[in-house]
């Protein structure tokens, strides 16, 4: 994923699925200079900084479990 797309997803009014290492995450912040993002695992609720290149967009989320 590109930094600009990560930022668009973060600011979007829609819920767009994003995975990091096969786990869904919520993008909290984007650092374009370092090409990293601060993300929170949806299942575990822990946060970490990751390379934006390792994020995978899965598309719009129509319902939450």
One digit per residue, pLDDT tens: the chain, 65 residues? 999 999 999 999 999 999 999 999 999 999 999 999 999 998 888 999 999 999 999 998 876 65
Strands laid side by side in the 55-60 sheet: 47-51, 36-41, 23-31, 16-20, 55-60
Q: How many CA atoms lie within 13 A of 24 on its CB side?
A: 11
Question: Which domains does the chain possess?
Answer: 3-60 (2.30.30)
Contact 60, 16 (CB under 8 A): yes
């Amino acid at each position: 994923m590109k930094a600009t797309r990560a930022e668009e997803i973060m600011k979007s009014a829609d819920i767009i699925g994003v995975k990091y290492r096969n786990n869904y995450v919520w993008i909290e912040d984007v650092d374009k200079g370092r090409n990293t993002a601060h993300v929170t695992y949806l299942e575990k609720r822990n946060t970490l900084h990751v390379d934006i290149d390792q994020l995978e967009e899965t598309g719009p989320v129509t319902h939450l479990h």
